[in-house]
Amino acid sequence: MAGKNNILQIPNIADYYAICGMGKPKHPLIGIYTFEELPAMNIPDDVKFTLGYYVVTIKYNDTCGSQYGQTKYDYDEGIMGFTAPHQVLGVNKDFKPPEKGWSLMFHPDFLLGYALAQKIHHFHFFDYAINEALILSEDEDRDINDLFLKIRQEINRPIDNFSQDVLISQLDLLLTFSNRYYNRQFIIRKPLNNHLVTKFEQLLENYFSDENAQRELPTVAYFADQLHLSGKYFSDVLKQLTGKTAQQHIHDKVIEKAKKYLSTTSLSVAEIAYHLGFDYPQSFSKLFKTKTKQTPQAFRISFN
């Protein structure tokens, strides 16, 4: 199953179970196990791989060498991680699984026909980096473990007409709780994240103030990379602290600079658009009107 660029492709849960020596899963589209049950694995070399399904883990005494969080652990309980299908992952030959914890996996096809199939795309934590993991409090840890246990119990029951409905409801609750606890984590880390906002604002100002910079409209990914964060995590932190996403902050800065050029220079609208990084003046004019309810020309005339 080695694929493009020697990345191992693991499209379904049964293939993963076979690779790990765990036999066959109880259900072809959803599986769960504890790390204590995972057979010892010999990984001869570093390997990159992708999975064709979602994975939610909770880890304790993690010995794999990963670091979590933007600072030291907020709590001493479980560490949760989330992986979406087709992300490139990797382990090295010295990899050791956590001593304790859970791994839950479910294929996108398992969600078909349910609202969760669309709702899951709104859980941004599936696109967070490993160092943006969720660190649970004692109460949160207990809630999450209870849900893992209930999901396992349901998977192990004989399948009936209600099995999938129950499992979907439990998955939905697990992800909703996770979203809630991430929101708590943003609040707990507010002093640190306020510093992040300050750094972002300075980067944003410097980007548009550098007369020698390449004329290109900055992206969320650019600033996230400068701050060593994933784009989704970065934007979610900003949304929690300021009420605006990273994209909204960028657009606000663009409009601020545009107003300055329109009111203090004789540059044409096309020249201003180019100066701000737009490929087409029409795109700049459309954004300006959306944000200010005026065209750039109308705004300029108001200053004459």
Assess whether pLDDT exceeds 50 at residue 74.
Answer: no
- Rounded percentage of the chain residues whose pLDDT exceeds 90: 54
Structure token pair of residue 295 = 């065209």
* Cα gap 276→267, rounded to integer Å: 12
Residues 168-222 pLDDT 10s: 999 999 999 999 999 888 888 776 677 888 889 999 888 888 765 556 888 999 9
Residue pair 26/155 in contact (Cβ under 8 Å)? The answer is yes
Contact 101, 35 (CB under 8 A): yes
**Domain boundaries along the sequence of the chain:** 4-188, 191-301
Rounded mean pLDDT of 47-72? 71
The sign one gets for the Cα dihedral 60, 65, 69, 73 is positive
User: At 73, is the pLDDT very low, low, confident or very high (cuts 50, 70, 90)?
Assistant: very low
- pLDDT above 90 for 120: yes
- The answer to whether 272 and 262 are in contact (CB under 8 A) is yes
Structure tokens at 232: 């989704």
For the chain, give the mean pLDDT: 87
Average pLDDT estimate for 153-168: 95
Least confident span in 1-15, 68-82, 86-100: 68-82
Domain 191-301 sits in CATH at 1.10.10.60
| Mean pLDDT score, 227-234 | 90
Position 75 confidence tier, pLDDT thresholds 50, 70, 90: very low
Residue 240 is predicted with a pLDDT of 85
- pLDDT score, position 304: 66
Report the pLDDT averaged over residues 41-63.
84
Alpha helices in the chain (DSSP H): 13-20, 116-119, 138-156, 163-188, 190-209, 220-226, 231-242, 246-264, 269-276, 281-292, 296-301
Question: Domain 4-188 classified CATH 2.60.40?
Answer: no
Looking at the predicted structure, is the pLDDT value of residue 52 above 60? yes
**pLDDT, position 198:** 87
pTM above 0.95, yes or no: no
pLDDT of residue 216: 82
Residue-level pLDDT at 113: 96
Q: What is the pLDDT of residue 69?
A: 37
Token representation of residue 23: 């036999």
